[in-house]
Amino acid sequence: MYAVLTQPISILEGVGPALAKRLQQRQVITLGDLLLHLPKSYHDDRQSLSIAQLQTGVSARVHGKVLNKQQRGFGQKQSLHLQLVDDAGDLLTLTFFNAAYMMRDQRLTEGRKITVRGVPEHWQGRWQMSHPEWQVIERFQAGFSPVYGSLAGMSGLRISGFIAKAMQQLQGCSPLDSVLDRTLLQALTTIHTPEHDLDMSMIARAHQRLKVEEWLVYLHALQLQRADIVQPASIYHNGAIVQQLLQQLPFQLTAAQAAVWQDITKDLAKGERMHRLLQGDVGAGKTVIAALAAAMVIADGAQAALMAPTEVLATQHHVTLQGLFAPLGIEVALLTGSTGIKARRQLLENLADGRLSLLIGTHALLTEDVRFHHLALAMVDEQHRFGVQQRWFLTEKGASVHLLAMTATPIPRSLAMAIYGDMDLSLMQGLPPGRKPIETRVLAQEKFPELLAGMQRLLAQDGRIYWIVPRIDDDEAGISVGQRAELLQQQLPEERVLALHGRMKPKEKHQVLSDFASGQARVLVSTTVVEVGVNVPEARLIVIEQAEQYGLAQLHQLRGRVGRSSEQGYCLLVAGSELSTTAMQRLQKMRDCHDGLELAEMDLQLRGAGDAIGVRQSGEAGFRLLDPALDGALIRSYDLATLNRLSPKQKMELTAISTFWRPTMMHE
């Protein structure tokens, strides 16, 4: 069965080279990867509604005949408008933007019966849906259907087709003998092909089984990793450059920063390799600690490297650290996937002969031809975005390299010990002085006009605004980054409204962020790509649309983009119209609480098992399903000792299965 799971995605009918490549960019390489794209929820498709029964804003299934279709607009802006008539003779208009190709779709000829699911709106006396999912009626199966999030530009519906094919392959393979095999197959079957009468507790149990497996595989990797951690290493305690750096900082270290800095200086002077995890809340000031640590090794002629999970963040660190080190005459270089060939060659040369002492970058730093003259310190920022082994990879670029990892993920200490058993922990509590708690409000979508007025007031004071939209694609329900940016541009004609999302070219992303940072544009509509680390102190307001879709820890991260100066910061959580009581409670907690750790714990209490399905918020440690914010109990109930009790055969199983659970490297 593992053999099937590790087959490349391209063996599926309909996955050509171009699609395979796009999926690969989203880390979906094997059938197993695809099958870990779990449903977000399940639709009750046991019955359909007549058009007369529709309710505004409530997702519904409708069957009907195509009455006519019409194309409007030109070129890229073409849209398709399709009239559907149901058995009672009522009409529903379906609108598809940028969908000229659908005009020629044979399945949509007049008189054909189709079935759609979407969110209806009542507008000028008519029912309409934009971008509903649709199928010809013959392909429709009544029952519960899994709902998948879009992936690599494919709609959830298209994904579900591929997942069904992958499941068939899996079920068709030879009889299974091992325990892990059977558990995995059963769990995947329960989740992807639910029974006619859906039992959410069974689905939850299947999720749990998968998570247990993922955790055991992780522990196994951790155990292998631990074996070679303790190593003698060079001593660094020459504080000359460090003192210079401290003197030119525009602020004094907080007590918490000073304490952490003490931990690190002790580690570096110990003669043993450091492996320290620095945990500090969003905005606590971790970057300057990284700079100090780098200065310490550079003072003795050695090299330091800092790796960040996104290009956006790496670039920002480059700018910050350049600002700190330039006055000391120390050059700081940046290496990412988009560094030009020539610049890259020069940089690598300087790195190899030691002329360059500080290198910042993305996982491009891990490429084989990146060779250091004498790397003494590897630093990994937002390390929870990297897998258990990946966080050590950078240290392999030298001998006995000290490791400093940083994270803002608020996880309780006991959990951190279980997950990062291979590291020493430093907790940096509190924020730099003068920060005011970010004023947080929950707002109904209908209040947009008032929100706009508030934005204008803030812009009049030269504040800057983030506006977060949950998706990029035009093919899903809800508004896209581009559409929201366009709308805001119309509403704020005096401003330059920018759009940012992970799929833009790196160059474009840099341009957008630097325009926003410099104030050339003051409104930025973005996906959660700004979630980690981005630091624009002038940003005063963050608006988070469909805020109920996020976990509290993630909302806390996003909120941390503002309130990074002594000016009052604001966060507006805009809630959709179909809000459950728990969802509302969660948003209210967010309003009242400003402590990352407390929020993570509250989230856990407020969610039921069913609620937690398909919702991950921290992406900790490169886990695919496990979420320390939600799965604390599971994590605490299995530790390294559990592994010692496994039989040799079971251990072999774990090794085999680890290729399936291969941790993901998070991307932008």
Residue 350 is a binding residue for ligand ADP (CB under 6 A)? no
The DSSP code sequence of 275-297 is EEEEEE-TTS--HHHHHHHHHHH
Distance CA 573, CA 582 (A): 15
DSSP state of 49: B
**From 251-259, 260-268, 604-612, 653-661, span contacting ligand ADP (CB under 6 A):** 251-259
At 151 the three-state DSSP class reads strand
Taking the complex as a whole, the smallest distance from the CB of residue 382 to ligand ADP amounts, in Å, to 8
Name which of 284 and 296 has its Cβ closer to ligand ADP: 284
**Residue of 286, 384, 616, 662 interacting with ligand ADP (CB under 6 A):** 286
Report whether 336 contacts 362 (CB < 8 A): yes
Distance CA 486, CA 467 (A): 12
Name which of 306 and 335 has its Cβ closer to ligand ADP: 306
- Whole-angstrom CA distances from 217 to 136, 183, 190, 636 are 42, 14, 21, 15
Q: What is the dihedral of CA 283, 286, 287, 293, to 10 degrees?
A: 170
- Six token digits for residue 35: 């099958």
Residue 280 is a binding residue for ligand ADP (CB under 6 A)? yes
DSSP state of 410: -
Residue 64 is a binding residue for Mg ion (CB under 5 A)? no
Name which of 283 and 632 has its Cβ closer to Mg ion: 283
Residue 535 is a binding residue for ligand ADP (CB under 6 A)? yes
Size of the site for ligand ADP (CB under 6 A): 18
Distance CA 443, CA 458 (A): 17
CA 287 to chain centre: 21
Distance CA 73, CA 626 (A): 46
Residue 284 is a binding residue for ligand ADP (CB under 6 A)? yes
Residue 287 is a binding residue for ligand ADP (CB under 6 A)? yes
**Residue of 120, 533, 614, 619 interacting with Mg ion (CB under 5 A):** 533
362: closest CA among 290, 410, 314? 314
- The neighbouring-strand residues paired with 61 are 117
- The neighbouring-strand residues paired with 30 are 8
Distance CA 560, CA 562 (A): 5
Taking the complex as a whole, the smallest distance from the CB of residue 285 to Mg ion amounts, in Å, to 8
**Residue of 282, 332, 403, 590 interacting with ligand ADP (CB under 6 A):** 282
Q: Which does 194 bind (CB under 5 to 8 A by kind): Mg ion, ligand ADP, none?
A: none
**Residue of 15, 49, 176, 253 interacting with ligand ADP (CB under 6 A):** 253
Report whether 95 contacts 130 (CB < 8 A): yes
Taking the complex as a whole, the smallest distance from the CB of residue 92 to ligand ADP amounts, in Å, to 48
- Six token digits for residue 95: 């609108």
Name which of 381 and 474 has its Cβ closer to ligand ADP: 381
Residue 506 is a binding residue for Mg ion (CB under 5 A)? no
Name which of 381 and 603 has its Cβ closer to ligand ADP: 381
Residue 408 is a binding residue for ligand ADP (CB under 6 A)? yes
**From 11-19, 280-288, 335-343, 621-629, span contacting ligand ADP (CB under 6 A):** 280-288
Taking the complex as a whole, the smallest distance from the CB of residue 600 to ligand ADP amounts, in Å, to 16
**Residue of 59, 257, 339, 426 interacting with ligand ADP (CB under 6 A):** 257
Match 């084989």 to its residue by tokens.
368
**Residue of 166, 288, 358, 377 interacting with ligand ADP (CB under 6 A):** 288
Report whether 636 contacts 421 (CB < 8 A): no
Name which of 147 and 293 has its Cβ closer to Mg ion: 293
Residue 569 is a binding residue for ligand ADP (CB under 6 A)? no
603: closest CA among 620, 589, 622? 589
Give residues with Cβ within 8 angstroms of 433, minimum separation 6. Answer: 254
467: closest CA among 504, 506, 446, 498? 498
Name which of 167 and 438 has its Cβ closer to Mg ion: 438
Size of the site for Mg ion (CB under 5 A): 1
Residue 280 is a binding residue for Mg ion (CB under 5 A)? no
Residue 432 is a binding residue for ligand ADP (CB under 6 A)? yes
- Whole-angstrom CA distances from 113 to 49, 64, 67, 131 are 15, 6, 10, 17
Name which of 281 and 631 has its Cβ closer to ligand ADP: 281
Name which of 16 and 250 has its Cβ closer to ligand ADP: 250
Q: Which does 7 bind (CB under 5 to 8 A by kind): ligand ADP, Mg ion, none?
A: none
Name which of 255 and 269 has its Cβ closer to ligand ADP: 255
Report whether 137 contacts 114 (CB < 8 A): yes
Match 């063996």 to its residue by tokens.
11
Note the residues at the interface with ligand ADP (CB under 6 A): 251, 253-254, 257, 280, 282-288, 408, 432, 533, 535, 537, 564
